[in-house]
Amino acid sequence: RTFGPEHPFTLTSIVMLGNLLMTTGNYGSAKPLLQKAVTTAEQALGEEHPITGIACHALAELLHRKKEYAEAEALYRRALTFQLHLLGEGHPHVLAVKSDLALLLEESGRTAEAESLCRQTLDGEQRLLGKEHPVTLTTLHNLAGLAKAKGELAEAETLYRQALEGRKRALGDQHPETLSTANLLAGLLRSMGDTDKAESLYRIVMEGRERILGPEHRDTLTSMRNLAELLASKGDFTGTELSYRRLLESREKALGVDHPDTLKSVHDLAFFLAGRGDHEGAEPLYRRVLEVRERVLGADHPETLATMNNLAVSLASKGDSDGAERLYRRAIETSERVSGSEHPNTLAYMENLAVDLQSKGDTDNAESLFRQVLESREKVLGPEHSDTLTSRQRLAEFLGDSGRLEESLTLRAQVIAAAERSPQAATDPQLAIDLNVLGIAMRNCGRLDEAEPLLRRALQRDEQLRGETHPKIPHRLNNLCSVLIMQGQLDEAGLLLARAWHLKSAQHDLTSMRLLFVRLTAAMLKSQPPDTFLGQLKTMLAQDSIPDHADVDKTMNVAYFIEHLTPKLGERNATFLHALAAALNDHNKLTKLNQFELWKNIPPLSLGTPWPEN
């Protein structure tokens, strides 16, 4: 009223209101205001007026938040051109636009451009504002994210630590931005395999956010989930379950029982329980999610069908194959009708149905479905797409289980050859998994000379990509050592198993049991006392935190492993190892070990007890 709609004061107020609405998440109201500010400023003040540049920057940031990247980038570049011309390279407004544009380029996958711009911005901010100004530290924080995106993890860690220490001094330990940097550093450490330091940081972040933001704030809840996922990766299943249940309780209280985020927490808890083999606990949770999603989203919604599929997986794992088949067929029929017969979801449900049919002995229909999924993925995605390779691997597993080993091994080798031709081969962790799987398959059919180099390559790739202390490394070492033992290379196997045991010392889990089993076998072959390994196995079997089976048979094909070694072990030791493997797979068979003097007379032993010399 006082100055009119085109006055600079009026336009500045419109931009400020738009920014306020944007920061509170009200994008729908902010967008028309900022668009009006840009248009009016261009017409009334001109394209090169400072307020026009400020309005363009504000609208670009809004579109950026909405992931409308092309329009946002164009506006950022217009704003940058205006600001450079009017204010010069080192002005704070210019540096702010550069910083935001670099972030957009990173999110668009253009990391090289983003890094160049980010470094320019950081250099200017350090000169103009100082190394510990909050704006400078934000750019340093963003540069760390770029280094991580490029796979330069050591550089990323250094930058995150610099940003974290700077923010602690400039803003305080409990400031939300300090906690944000600590959170991302924790995620980086987790990806590098340093799970203990990651856990410590995640706990600091979660406790800080609870104090500053409240226990039901979105960021606090995200921290709870991060901690739960980390604990799961460390094998701390009790802690994981407690974290998931606490997260669910907080979301129910903050958002309501039917809110999508609450349902996601229910689904995550169900998925975790199912992964642990607790399908009795998972089933009612999946049913709860399915009921709400059918009611709220509709029976044809993709999330409804995904929940139906996961419930079917749990039913199949409980032995209710008929109930699982009914749900799989409902999901397939609906997905075919809504999305088409070659949609990724449709094919995923078909593949799961194939697994269910295989478990029921309907191998002809199972094989037909496995092949149909593979053919569809080859047609739609191409023969070397990751999903296509997964289907080829699934068919290979089916053929191997059916006794058609040569065809199975040929398909597995094709998967690896295709993965190695991929542009992502150098940084693809899946290739190590595929090498490991083929190596195990070769081992299980007696082709030890072919298995050994495959398992060494799997170990080497994981050491390069994940680091020599990553939790996967002991697992890889154990698989390699099982082959070395079968080949008679007992000294090398002993050294590698000792290394693996040392790596597990901070967090023992199922892999620790498998390591003890393989090391025990090597001790018997070398006529070494087995007391240490049997005593530690007794201790692990008594711990509540260890799941109720070690999956030795599934992981090692232990029957073949022992039979191959029986001539050197002797019948007595071989019989004991068969019984021990059965007990590790099923605790109900644990009491049967008491018939063996070897087991009965050895007391439990601390897991910290040093192993005897190789």
Task: For 448-461, write each residue's pLDDT tens digit.
Answer: 999 999 999 999 99
555: tokens are 């992981």
pLDDT at 49 over 60: yes
Closest CA to 330 of 294, 366, 363: 294
| Residue 52 · residue 38 · CB < 8 Å | yes
175: tokens are 């400031």
Question: Is the sign of the CA dihedral 467, 469, 471, 477 positive or negative?
Answer: positive
CA–CA gap between residue 315 and residue 356 (Å, rounded): 10
| Average pLDDT of the residues in 329-341 | 96
What is the domain class of 370-470 according to CATH? Answer: mainly alpha
pLDDT number for residue 6: 79
C-alpha distance from residue 181 to each of 115, 353, 354 (Å): 18, 44, 45
| Average pLDDT of the residues in 198-214 | 93
pLDDT at 143 over 50: yes
Q: Show contacts of 86-94: CB within 8 Å, 24+ apart.
A: 86/48, 86/50, 86/53, 87/50, 89/124, 90/124, 90/127, 90/128, 92/128, 92/129, 92/135, 93/50, 93/53, 93/54, 93/57, 94/124
| Residue 17 · residue 33 · CB < 8 Å | yes
Which residue ranges make up each domain of the chain?
370-470, 497-614
Span 230-271, pLDDT tens digits: 998 887 888 999 999 999 999 998 889 999 999 999 999 999
Q: Residue 556: which pLDDT band, with cuts at 50, 70 and 90?
A: low
Q: Answer left, alpha or beta for residue 130, where phi above 0 means left and psi between -120 and 50 means alpha.
A: left
Pick the more confident residue, 547 or 319: 319
199: tokens are 């856990």
Residues in the chain: 614
∠ at Cα 316 (315, 319), nearest 5°?
90
388: tokens are 């296509």
∠ at Cα 208 (207, 213), nearest 5°?
105
| Residue 73 · residue 104 · CB < 8 Å | yes
∠ at Cα 460 (199, 405), nearest 5°?
110
| Residue 309 · residue 325 · CB < 8 Å | no
Span 478-508, pLDDT tens digits: 999 999 999 999 999 999 999 999 998 877 8
| Average pLDDT of the residues in 291-309 | 94
Pick the range with the lowest mean pLDDT from 7-11, 201-205, 220-224, 296-300: 7-11
CA–CA gap between residue 398 and residue 401 (Å, rounded): 5
CA–CA gap between residue 344 and residue 385 (Å, rounded): 12
Question: Is the sign of the CA dihedral 508, 513, 519, 524 positive or negative?
Answer: positive
Q: What is the CA radius of gyration of the chain?
A: 29
Pick the more confident residue, 361 or 116: 361
CA–CA gap between residue 199 and residue 7 (Å, rounded): 54
pLDDT at 90 over 70: no
Closest CA to 85 of 120, 61, 53: 53
State the amino acid at position 563 in one-letter form: E
Q: Residue 120 burial (CB < 10 Å; 0-12/13-18/19+)? A: middle
C-alpha distance from residue 436 to each of 386, 472, 477 (Å): 17, 11, 10
pTM of the complete model: 0.65
User: Three-state SS for 418?
Assistant: helix
Mean pLDDT of the residues in the chain: 89
Span 401-430, pLDDT tens digits: 898 988 999 999 999 999 888 887 888 888
| Residue 360 · residue 316 · CB < 8 Å | no
Span 365-398, pLDDT tens digits: 999 999 999 999 999 999 989 899 999 999 999 9
Pick the more confident residue, 482 or 102: 482
| Residue 3 · residue 9 · CB < 8 Å | yes
| Average pLDDT of the residues in 114-136 | 85
C-alpha distance from residue 255 to each of 191, 229, 260, 263, 340 (Å): 31, 21, 9, 10, 35
Give me the helix-helix angle, 176-191 and 153-171, nearest 10°.
160
Q: Residue 553: which pLDDT band, with cuts at 50, 70 and 90?
A: very low
Q: Answer left, alpha or beta for residue 214, where phi above 0 means left and psi between -120 and 50 means alpha.
A: left
Highest mean pLDDT (candidates 83-92, 99-108, 373-382): 373-382
Q: Residue 372 burial (CB < 10 Å; 0-12/13-18/19+)? A: middle
C-alpha distance from residue 572 to each of 370, 504, 514, 576 (Å): 43, 30, 21, 6
| Average pLDDT of the residues in 27-56 | 84
* First-to-last C-alpha distance (Å) of the chain: 89
pLDDT at 322 over 80: yes
Quickly tell me which residue has 């999603």 as its tokens.
293
C-alpha distance from residue 199 to each of 118, 213, 237, 306, 582 (Å): 30, 20, 14, 31, 34
State the amino acid at position 122 in one-letter form: L
Q: Considering the chain, what percentage of its residues have pLDDT values greater than 70?
A: 97
CA–CA gap between residue 544 and residue 235 (Å, rounded): 12
Closest CA to 341 of 301, 375, 391: 375
pLDDT at 551 over 70: no
pLDDT number for residue 545: 45
CA–CA gap between residue 292 and residue 378 (Å, rounded): 36
Residue 117 CA from chain centroid, whole number = 30
Quickly tell me which residue has 């790739």 as its tokens.
461
State the amino acid at position 119 in one-letter form: R
State the amino acid at position 402 in one-letter form: S
pLDDT number for residue 549: 39
Strands (E), 213-359: none
445: tokens are 């059919």
Closest CA to 408 of 379, 378, 370, 356: 370
Q: Residue 224, Cβ neighbours under 10 Å: how many?
A: 24
